[in-house]
Structure 1
Amino acid sequence: MHISKIDLNLFIVLEAIYTEGSITRASQKMNLTQPAISHALKRLRDLFDDPLFERQGNVMTPTPLARSIIEPVRRALRGLEVTLTGAARFDAASSERGFSLAMRDVLEANVLPPLMAGIAREAPLATLNTLQVSRKELASELAAGTLDAAIDVLLPLPNEVRRMQLAGDQTVVLVRRGHPLIKRGKLPLETYLALEHVQTSSRRRGPGLEDVELSRQGLQRRIRLRCQHYFAACRVVSQTDLALTMPDRLARIVNQQFGNQILPLPLTMPSLDVYLYWHANVDNDPANTWLRARVAAAMQAVA
């Protein structure tokens, strides 16, 4: 069937139902009535000769065919959107655009203050939404345009996802002031291994980068506490004899109210490099180019 005979709005409905998992939420997202969404879904089913979605409780579960076509559909829709956006000049001063930026929570305290200062200065009507996205879903979210960009460590992503190195960081160790094992502010490796440690991770299990490096040397430290957030870990350190290993720049922000000692990690570790990611289909999008420049400037400000 020739594309001229197909209503391209149907594919917008397809993507909305797939993303929202619900006809009700898709109708709210598109500001259409539920009967209109249901009618569009019927036309899609006739077009593909496939149910596309099957109801399981309150969720519309995609069929194998729907799963196989969603990424090409998202790329095509994103390409059209970029073409239309690029045809018009992006005026930051008057734009009311909302941007979505994925980043880990450990980066927010560093990046957001200078980033929002730059956005407020140049685009006072624009908004920013930061969120955490599964690394497995990062490429598809960027391709679909549900994310404008992402900040993360070096990741094995497809060639269609562009990247630019932003900054590096060092790893440090925090212990409370007056810690009985720390003499004259020195932390030799044997003392580091004798300490009990806090490990901060959003994962349920698994080693940290420092544990991987220790393992390579046939060494191991004792993890006494595993928690989710560095703020909580810093507070624990200030009231116990536990030690915390974390990125330097974040440590200097989070630790301000606790006054823990910040000591060099007595272990050779690679720099914690941070990268900016975006999809090739927005390489020349004026709005995305502007956002990337603001992110790069913010990272430079905290380097």
Structure 2
Amino acid sequence: MELRDLDLNLLLVLAELVREKSVSKAAENLGMSQPGMSNALNRLRALLGDDLLLRTGRGMQPTPYAERLAEPLNEALRLIHGVVNLEMDFDPARSNRSFTIAMTDIGEIDFLANLMRALERVAPDVSISTVRKGESNLKDELETGAVDLAIGWLPDLNAGMFQRRLTASQYVCAFRKGHALDKGSITLEEFARADHLVVLAPHTGHMMIEHDLGRLGVRRNVKLRIPHFAAVGHILSETDMIAALPGRLVNHSIVPFNLAWAPLPIKLDPIPLNVFWSAKYHRDPANQWLRAMMFDTFSEGAPHVSPDQAVPLP
């Protein structure tokens, strides 16, 4: 007999029947009806050419053939159970694995220092690489394991990926300390009249802010457009330009670049930032550990802007 010719569920039925020596008890243990169990026993008898269980004065008893099958069958079922419940171990203290995380330069500024300090304590030989990926490539690379996690506003990953909210990015207006607008609050007219630095960062939530400003008809005097955030602090600190930036980025930039901030004079929804990972690696212990590290080491601390502080457009 070939395995392809056998319903393997019947082996589980046979093992339970031999163990319980009762059709009703075996059915109860396996969540089957008694007629269903009797039907399964009849199928086994036909397949194996043996009665398997016989009614005697001492109740149902296995035949000699069924008794010979019992021990190797139980061992095979134990092995199968172990395989399907296999849990690989991941010991961060001993691992030298390299993980790859897709994130923007904002993410690097905001998350990586805390994460690397934590790794020094609990996983000294683990290393991290960061990459920038377009969403079309990113989904494939998450599914193949080339990228372990992705962080950001990534709506194209909403289907077919696990995700969990890390934070929401509230935007503020940033400028150098001592700027003419460094007075706690600014009006929409002052915001529009000022010289602006604008970051054009495709495939990031930042583009949603640019879209919302345009949708609301907010006109700005844009003097400089750049493709990334790394230089923003340097530029703002040495000019009179202002910029609409994520509050968490501004929080990290206040001290090193001597910046100040004020709430935006318009009400914009915060941009959600999620952690994404492939369903393929959802139960992978190393991926689970990395996700836990991201959330455990992440801390709030960006300038908090109450919705009441933002003035809606007239």
User: Matched residues in 2 for 1:231 and 1:254: separation?
Assistant: 10
* Amino acid across the alignment from 1:109: I
For the 8 Å contact 1:230–1:254, the answer to whether it is kept is: no
- Give the counterpart letter for 2:214 in structure 1: S
Distance 1:249 1:170 in 2: 8
Shift in CA distance, 118/258, structure 1 to aligned 2, threshold 3 Å: closer
Aligned-pair CA distance for 1:140:
0.2
Question: Which of 1 and 2 has higher RCO (CA within 8 Å, sep 6+)?
Answer: 1
CA RMSD in angstroms comes to 2.4
Taking structure 2 as the reference length, the TM-score comes to: 0.63
Q: Is the 8 A contact 1:100 1:129 kept in 2?
A: yes
Is contact 1:100-1:147 (8 Å) kept?
A: yes
Pairwise CA distance, 1:188: 0.9
> What is the CA distance between 1:87 and its match in structure 2?
4.7
1:136 match: secondary structure: helix
Distance 1:109 1:210 in 2: 19
Cα–Cα, structure 1 residues 179 and 248, in superposed 2: closer, same or farther, change >3 Å? same
**Worse-matched range after superposition: 142-151 or 247-256:** 247-256
State the partner residue of 1:26: none
Shift in CA distance, 294/213, structure 1 to aligned 2, threshold 3 Å: same
In structure 1, how many angstroms separate the alpha carbons of the residues matched to 2:182 and 2:112?
Answer: 36
- Between the aligned partners of 1:263 and 1:301, the Cα distance in structure 2 is 18
1:230 match: secondary structure: coil
Structure 2 gaps, min length 5 = 1-82, 303-314
Distance across 1 between alignment mates of 2:182 and 2:144: 54
Q: Deviations over 1:206-252 (max 9, x none)?
A: x9433322332233212110113434222222222211111111112
The one-letter code sitting in structure 1 at the alignment partner of 2:291 is R
CA separation of 1:183 and 1:159: change in aligned 2, threshold 3 A: closer
- Report the secondary structure of 2:169's partner residue: coil
Q: Matches of 2:183 and 2:299 in 1, distance apart?
A: 33
Instruction: Write the mapping of 1:222-237 to structure 2, written as runs, cut at 5 A.
Output: 222-237=221-236
Residues 261 and 129 of structure 1, relative CA distance in 2, 3 Å threshold = same
Distance 1:143 1:218 in 2: 40
Aligned residue for 1:79?
none
Match of 2:116 in 1: 116
Asked if the contact 2:185–2:262 (Cα under 8 Å) also holds between the matched residues in 1, the reply is: yes
Contact 1:114 1:301 in 2 (8 A): no
Distance 1:88 1:185, change over 3 A: closer
Which residue number in structure 2 is paired with residue 104 of structure 1?
A: 104
Alignment correspondent of 2:144: 144
Instruction: Report the AA paired with residue 155 of structure 2.
Output: L
Which residue in the other structure is 2:175 paired with? 175
TM-score, length of structure 1 as denominator length: 0.65
Q: Give the direction of change, closer, same or farther, for the CA distance of 1:173–1:89 in structure 2 (3 Å limit).
A: same
CA offsets 1:112-162 (integer angstroms, 9 cap, x no match): 111112222222221111111122211100011101111111422263211
Q: Is the 8 A contact 1:199 1:208 kept in 2?
A: no
The one-letter code sitting in structure 2 at the alignment partner of 1:111 is F
Q: Provide the residue aligned with 1:184 in structure 2.
A: 183
C-alpha distance in structure 2 between counterparts of 1:183 and 1:87, whole Å: 56
Report sequence identity in percent: 30
Question: What residue is the counterpart of 2:296 in the other structure?
Answer: 297
**Hey, what's the Cα distance between the residues in 1 that align with 2:182 and 2:109?**
31
Higher mean alpha-carbon deviation, 227-236 vs 246-255, is at 227-236
Counterpart in the other structure of 1:265: 264
Q: Write the mapping of 1:273-292 to structure 2, written as runs, cut at 5 A.
A: 273-292=272-291
Equivalent-residue separation in structure 2 for 1:178 and 1:93 (angstroms): 48
**3-state secondary structure, aligned to 2:270:** coil
Give the equivalent residue in structure 2 for 1:37.
none
Count of aligned residue pairs for this structure pair: 217
Letter in 2 for 1:169: S
Structure 2 contact 201–207 (Cα < 8 Å) conserved: no
Q: Deviations over 1:160-186 (max 9, x none)?
A: 211111111211111233334x27332
- Give the AA of the match of 1:260: L
* Matched-pair contact (CA < 8 Å) for 1:115–1:295: yes
Distance 1:134 1:255, change over 3 A: same
Larger Rg: 2
